[in-house]
Chain A
Amino acid sequence: DAGVTQSPTHLIKTRGQQVTLRCSPKSGHDTVSWYQQALGQGPQFIFQYYEEEERQRGNFPDRFSGHQFPNYSSELNVNALWLGDSALYLCASSAGYSSYEQYFGPGTRLTVT
């Protein structure tokens, strides 16, 4: 039973660039949420996708956008990168829109220089 997978594992970008992170949910899951975790902090909710639509959004600027595909996989796009965007980006999947029990992928470590 495949768990949540994310790619790439690590990424280094320069300020002002754009980045795309990818996530495949756990088998049987159809809902994907994205989180940003800065060093020493808890994960911060970015947004959630269900049925290929953004259902809820946290306190993140429009530079953060996403997409969900018919196979439930998802992408997180960040435009105009800032140094402060350096963090671990986590994807979590769950079974059904109303389920809060989320399973996290290994994360993508993004470094902005």
Chain B
Amino acid sequence: QKEVEQNSGPLSVPEGAIASLNCTYSDRVSQSFFWYRQYSGKSPELIMSIYSNGDKEDGRFTAQLNKASQYVSLLIRDSQPSDSATYLCAVARRGYQKVTFGTGTKLQVIP
């Protein structure tokens, strides 16, 4: 079982729709969760971090965390073509500095 699992996609959504990206993790001791956006040929960019169960909103982005189900999601409202990128879910375990990344989900927003 992979430590962090994501559907590789591509996930295609029309412009203006809500994109929903999902991630599961295997280590119950994980305490910190992150979403990074990576454009093709570029480095990852941190867009959201979440540490507690529930929702966290930042502009058009909402991160959702359910530790009991070991599940993290990212919602992107009013999706724009500029949101087309690979979204990486990352997890850090309590007491360890290592951040473990999933393989990423490729999102395509169709104009």
Which residues from chain A sit less than 8 Å from chain B, CB to CB?
A: 33, 35, 40-45, 48, 55-56, 58, 88, 90, 97, 100-107
The answer to whether A100 and B34 touch (CB under 8 A), given A56-B96, A105-B43, is: yes
Interface residues on chain B, number (Cβ under 8 Å): 22
Closest Cβ of chain B: how far from A99's Cβ, in Å?
Answer: 9
**Nearest A residue to B106, CB-CB:** A40
How far, in whole Å, are A44 and B97 apart by their CA atoms in the complex? 13
Contact with A along B88-107 (1 / 0, CB 8 A): 10101000111111111000
- A104, B44: Cβ atoms closer than 8 Å: yes
- B102, A42: Cβ atoms closer than 8 Å: yes
26 contacts between A and B (CB under 8 A): A33-B97, A33-B99, A35-B101, A42-B4, A42-B88, A42-B101, A42-B102, A43-B44, A43-B88, A45-B100, A48-B97, A55-B97, A56-B96, A56-B98, A58-B98, A90-B44, A100-B32, A100-B49, A100-B99, A101-B49, A102-B99, A103-B46, A104-B43, A104-B45, A106-B42, A106-B43
